[in-house]
Amino acid sequence: MASWIGMRGTATPAQVDAVARAIRNTPIIDHHAHPLLKLEALAKKPLLAITTEAAGDAMDSATSSLPHLRAVRQLAAALGCGYSWESVVVAIEERRLEGLEDWTAACLDGIETLLLDDGLDDEDDANPLSWHDDYTRSRCKRIVRIEKVAADVLRRLGASRDRKGDPFDEWLRDFDAEIRKAIDDPDVAGFKSVVGYRTGLDITDWPADVSEAHARADFRDIVDTGNLRSFKRLQTKSLNDLVVHRVARLIRDSPSRPKKPLQFHTGLGDNDLVLAKASPSHLQPFIRLYPTVPIVLLHAGYPFTRETGYLAAVYENVYADIGEVFPFVSHDGQERLVREILELCPWTKILWSTDGHWFPETYLLAIKQMREVFETVLCDYVRKGHIGWQAAINLVRDVLFRNARKLYNLDIDFAELDAETGPSPASYQSDAELLQAFLKDQPAPDFVRIFWSDFTATQRMRMIPFRRFEWLLNEGLSTDIGIATAVFALTQNDHVLPGVHPTGEYRLHPDFSSLKKGPIEGHISMAGEFRHPSGAQVPYCPRSVLQRAVEYGAQNNLSFRIGFEIEFLLVERNALLGANPGGAAAATPSQYSILTTDGHAWSVSRCFANPRVATLLRDMVAALADAGIYAQQLHAESATGQFELVLPPYPPVEAADTLLHARDIMSSLATAAGFKLTLHPKPLPYACGTASHMHMSVAPIRPAPRARRKSSVSAAAAAAAAAGAVVDPTATTEVVISSPAEAHESFYAGVLKHLRAITAFTYPSPASYERCSDSTWSGGRWVSWGTQNRETALRRIEGSHWEVRCLDGLANPYLAVAAVLFAGTKGYSDGEPLAWGDCEIDPSKLTENDRAELGVTQMLPGSVAEALEALKQDEELVEMMGPELVERYAAVKDMELAFLGKMSGEERRRWLMERY
């Protein structure tokens, strides 16, 4: 196994994942941004400006642009609102009213520090630089806009009554003094010029006597014709060029080491821009003139990106920024830009920034889109072997952090983001290392299984001989498996949806972190997820959908633990299935018969007196433990031959993986012992049904909002703490704090609100509705909850620990859990009130008045068709699960219903028992 380390050739999927994790977890030094507006000034600026440089009437057309539509989808996902601009605007207004501090912190999450150009217009509406320190891990610093300094000095000169000497000389003297002061100021990280906005980047060569004479004459015109006290901005080429040269000379001649950079706005901008003179190529003579002055070309010079990359590549003092195009350019445009900048430019010369301004949402979109595009481009390069995976990680850390730290001489240590955001690349193990550790002190297996669960909850898998698998890893080749794209258009007997063709291929990617022994001797297994050949997620992949649901919860500060109960029925093989226990055999033959027991009943000890059964159950628990799955309980259930095994709690994806693997182990052992293990929800018409109850707990990732402002805790917060609410003991701020009960009640309110639609995933078969009935401890037929009430769909056990009872073994656990998490997180995000009262009795026994008082007014669907219709009508859940997935899932279910509907009840029961 030692030979697996240090593999050559194309990167393995695990190494590609290490790059992706680095992209997600590397902190950002945002070297070019602008202050955020004060709360009272937010309404003064149009929110549409977050994705467009247009202004005035031209801005109205932005809603039909690709960048805007993408931003709407991303903001809606972050806000938990409808996928329309109107819904996003309303949700943002609500976040501002509920607590702008927390929303701002969420938008700026991942930023180490900000270097702020505070030279935008309407500076009185913006928060001061120090205000932003509360939202970054390190103190923010200032970027001095040189044209603003020049204008400020000119206005002061006009207001002065004791002017001495030539005004032009006084202006230059005072301007130089301000720049020197900024060079010496430790809170100033660098300088910025917007000459590209004013008169263009074709800066006149300087010094030249004729140029200075021209500048003096232009300055005299301003003094003679204008009111200097109200002077706005320099718009004269000679003066603008002079200002830039003065700053460059002062930086060049300063004794400070390293020298502070001079940023230039290039390319993309609003309609004040001189577009014909916005290409950074115009700066080439200026760059040559000041070879010791660090020069940063902002915004990749878009659309002049290649020119930007060229200049940074061939001049030691030039750096390329690739900010602002996120989110102002479409996804494809951003990908193309990143590829173009990397065509020629060394990544040690590239920096990234948000150009965030006015609204916190500009930061959120820039960060999210950058990480998405970096992952697409860089992981693609790694897969193709254009760059090694470790080099790619260094690239990410350089572009997002280390290059800016060095260029701006920032005293900040590199540290990965919190573990809450995901595994640290520094501690990441390759696939080979994970497998080596897994097989330590064990003989090599015969086969490696990679499994998945499809839309019919049929567990499928591909199996690779271990020697072949070992060879792939040794050669550095992909262990992905090509699977036909029709994989999510199949029924249990491999019928394919009309219109779906046997063309195209997905890649089944094994997740080595899910490795487990079994389900039989000589086999090891792991879960797989589907990806396009490009590496992008497949929207139909149930495991990927659950991962999205977990991420949605994390975005809303929620974490989850899920524990499943495995209820199952053991039957004998190769006989007839009786119509009742001990009665005459049924007329319809079957390969199963009822297990022989002595008075089988719920939790009775004599059910384990049968030595074959007792041995099988013992072996099940032992085999699960050998696979690292430690059963918490095992007992008899009510129906003859029915048992329940309780699994421990895990994070959601691991819980679903573990459930499927545990069932595979148990079923294999039952088959080897001459039994059939079935999960059929109602295998015996006269007996108790079989479920797959899901226990879950909800908890905040962080105990409470962190401090945002440096002021004392309010009396309201103190009162909340006294009442048992969660309060951060380190907080020095006034915050709105919710109690834990309110938090999880809103979550489960969201589940109840969407429960009828959720049942399309949790009750996915006609057999599910044979089990679903009132007064049978099955969770009943009503949308309701109750404390320790097993007749309600949701049972509250204690605190945030609740049980979802309307779930059976024919459900795909990834889809079922994802639907619950999406709905609950949406409820939590919206602060959904728990309008349903605590039902203390069987809901079916309530009077109409009692139901009205408790809010128990809706029934669960009575069939798969009704559940699918409820799902289609639930626009929020459809958007969260994914419209493509819902459409395909419903189509598969409709086809499944069509052929099941042609069977008699007994034929359908036997057919399903053969498969589940």
- The answer to the question of residue 470 being in a domain is yes
390 and 473 housed in the same domain: no
Residue 175 placed within a domain: no
Element (H, E) at 823: helix 813-830
722 falls within a domain? yes
> What gap in Å lies between CA 296 and CA 293, rounded to an integer?
10
DSSP letter at 273 equals S
Does some domain include residue 821? yes
Within this chain, do residues 615 and 518 fall inside the same structural domain, yes or no?
no
- Please give the single-letter amino acid code of residue 169: D
Check whether residue 613 and residue 696 sit in a common domain: yes
In a domain, 153, yes or no: no
Residue 219 lies in a domain: no
CATH number at residue 482: 3.10.20.70
Strand partners, 510: 528
Overall pTM > 0.85? no
Structure confidence at residue 583 (pLDDT): 36
Structure tokens at 408: 């701006």
What burial class does residue 306 get, using C-beta atoms within 10 Å of its C-beta: 0-12 exposed, 13-18 middle, 19+ buried?
A: middle
Same domain for 684 and 805, yes or no, is yes
User: Looking at 478, 509, 538, which one is the last position of a domain?
Assistant: 538
- The pLDDT, as a whole number, for residue 734 is 27
Picking from 498, 517, 538, the residue at the C-terminal end of a domain is 538
Q: Which of 535, 591, 545 is nearest to 373 (CA)?
A: 535
Say whether both 778 and 880 belong to one domain.
yes
Q: Which of 72, 25, 6 is nearest to 426 (CA)?
A: 25
pLDDT for 703: 42
Q: Are residues 366 and 482 in the same domain?
A: no
* Residue 192 covered by a domain: no
Distances (CA, A) of 857 to 494, 605, 784, 848, 853: 40, 41, 9, 9, 9
Torsions phi, psi of 191, nearest 5? -130, 160
End position of a domain, from candidates 378, 412, 446: 412
Asked if residue 808 and residue 737 are part of one domain, the reply reads yes
| CA-to-CA separations, 548 to 533, 541, 555, 652, 815, in angstroms, rounded | 20, 11, 10, 11, 11
- Alpha-carbon distance 684 to 681, whole Å? 9
Whether 561 and 531 map to the same domain: the answer is no
List pLDDT tens digits, range 329-364. 888 889 999 999 999 999 999 999 998 888 898 999
DSSP states of 107-135 as a string?
HTTTEEEEEEE--SS-GGGBPPGGGGGGG
Cα distances (Å, whole numbers) of residue 704 to 135, 242, 557, 710 = 15, 53, 9, 16
Mark whether 590 and 517 lie in a shared domain: no
Closest CA to 114 of 27, 26, 25, 29: 29
CATH number for the domain that contains residue 761: 3.30.590.10
Helix (H) or strand (E) holding 803: strand 801-804
Q: Are residues 743 and 877 in the same domain?
A: yes
Give the chain's residues under pLDDT 50: 1-9, 418-428, 575-589, 703-740
Identity of the residue numbered 312? A
Element (H, E) at 867: helix 864-873
CA distances from 541 to 28, 759, 821, 880 (A): 31, 19, 16, 14
| Residue 565 and residue 695 in contact, taking contact as beta carbons nearer than 8 Å | yes
Side chain identity at 92, as an amino acid letter? I
Number of domains in the chain: 3
Question: Which stretches of 600-743 are assigned E, i.e. beta strand?
Answer: 633-636, 642-646, 675-678, 694-700
536 Cβ contact list (under 8 Å, min separation 6): 376
Domain annotation covers residue 813: yes
pLDDT at 80: 78
**CA separation for the pair 357, 714 (Å, rounded):** 30
Please give the Cα distance from 916 to 262 (Å, whole number): 68
Going by C-alpha positions, the residue among 560, 548, 556 that lies closest to residue 95 is 556
* Parent domain of 893: 549-915
Same domain, 766 and 881: yes
d(CA 79, CA 58): 27
727 and 633, same domain (yes or no):
yes
Q: How far apart are CA 474 and CA 468, in angstroms?
A: 10
Task: Residue 633: count other Cβ atoms within 10 Å of its Cβ.
Answer: 9
